[in-house]
Structure 1
Amino acid sequence: MDIQWYPGHMVKTKKMIKQHIKLVDVVLELVDARAPLSTHLPDIDSLVGSKDVITVLNKADLADKGVTESWIKFFKEQGFQAVAVDALRKSGFKRLFSLIESAKKKTILAPKRCMIIGIPNVGKSSLINQMARRKSAKTGDKPGVTRSKMWLKVSDRLELLDTPGILWPKFDDKAVGIKLALLGSIKEELLDLQQLAVILIKYLSIYYPDRLKLRYDVDASIPPMKVLEKIAQSRGFLQSGGTYDIERSVKTLLNEFRQGKLGPLSLEKPEEKEGFWAGISNQDIV
């Protein structure tokens, strides 16, 4: 499964970021705490120049807590400022505001200005709404909700600039594209959802087998298609003629994973060079 998605508005977004970067003091790069490296923009340095960058691991409530702590330590060892937050429950915001406050002021404007960037569906608008304590930015669980820049005043001392989600022209690592698809950052119309669900089941059966058992009452050792059949059977997903509605099982599994209903779990660990994702990058495991 080779996934690529780079619509035209993302090119415009990159140009807009470069045009407005001189107006801000600090950049908040949102990544998904379940896959911080795969959701990190590889060309961020060319976009923000010398501006201070704070890496915000959003959706921390959906990620494996121990793995997230390892990521925070990893980023700090690499010289990056990083903080894990849960935008829905407002966890980690005290630390986030502290990092923003300590960032160097590089504009002559009175309030400190932050630009928020990240890939689609990583939770930028939800973060802004919590920081501003209001419901202003549009939110959604599909990529492409925010399509233009938007300034928002948080206080007399802080303003935020929201930007549309951006990706990069080509995923050199096949596993990165698959992880982004699993997290909902790629348009579903471009995906083979059944293949995606099979990959997720294989991953869970290795690293989080108990989650499949707890949620769907299935043995993680059985083949992925059998897992999907068991989900259809237990949920009553039947087509005319009594056959299992596998498509509905697929969508249920992916949606419940994205919503955290399988419990907190992570898709990658720091400096993980071997294992499942290395295999998927080098061969078709589906």
Structure 2
Amino acid sequence: MSQVLEPPSTPPTAPAPGPRPYTEEDPATLAARYGLTVSGARPSLPAYVRQLWQRRHFITAFATAKLTAQYSQAKLGQVWQVLTPLLNAAVYYFIFGQLLGTSKGVPDYIPFLVTGVFVWTFTQSSVMAGTRAISGSLGLVRALHFPRAALPVSYCLQQLQQLLFSMCALVVILLAFGIPPALSWLLIVPALVLQFTFNTGLAMIMARIGAHTPDISQLMPFLLRTWMYMSGVMWSLSKLMKGQDHHGIAYQLLQANPAAIYIDLMRFALMDSFHASQLPPHVWALAAGWALLAGAGGFIYFWKAEETYGRG
């Protein structure tokens, strides 16, 4: 006799759902899904410029605070801002002007020398400050999020403020030596703008190098001293190269030396005895070209390593 199979009284239950099998997703897809971004990632160049502009008040306040604190422990305080370059000029006058006789044939040698020392010190101090801008501020870099270019810019702004203090003493020296104010003194403004742009770009280059190679700060004083001797701080380059082949490499290098160009522009603006014939050809074009090359090139070079500062 055949058996009839009856259906079960209750339908079979479906198996309980288990964990979904893991499927590996691309990290970029996951980041896009949850709105995640890389911490400290380098922004685009236009965005970086906007961030830097938004922090302009921080930059100026930081520069002023550093300048005020620089001589806070000294009894003479901020007087050293003027006294230090004046003492340097006095030493150079004694050694080069008197012992080596570089003052012979140079009209108004003391204003000539003091102007050169002040302008050169602006570039020298900006470069040295830029070298330590990142490596000397690691606590600030690691603690706060801001465009790192604010640091070398603020250090150069600090040096510009110090130069303006020194210029007050320079004006007194010019008047004491019978050099009256003239309309040509207005040329100080574009000359300083170009030099500040050049110094800032150079400081950014050195800031990136110094952030990864701190030993560069030990080498820079020797390089800067060599550069100073080639820049006509203590002597007249036009007198030194008189009679030389104008197409020679040495003459061309001295003519195109940016530090010498900015020093001579300042002398030309302030001193009646410093004539246009002592300036290299197309001097303003050279000054603007160096400012554009160092300013834009240094800024881009620094920006490209933005995400690496303070790490490692």
Higher helix share: 2
Higher strand share: 1
- Structure number with greater CO (CA < 8 Å, separation at least 6) is 2
TM-score, normalised to structure 1, is 0.23
Larger Rg: 2
TM-score, normalised to structure 2, is 0.21
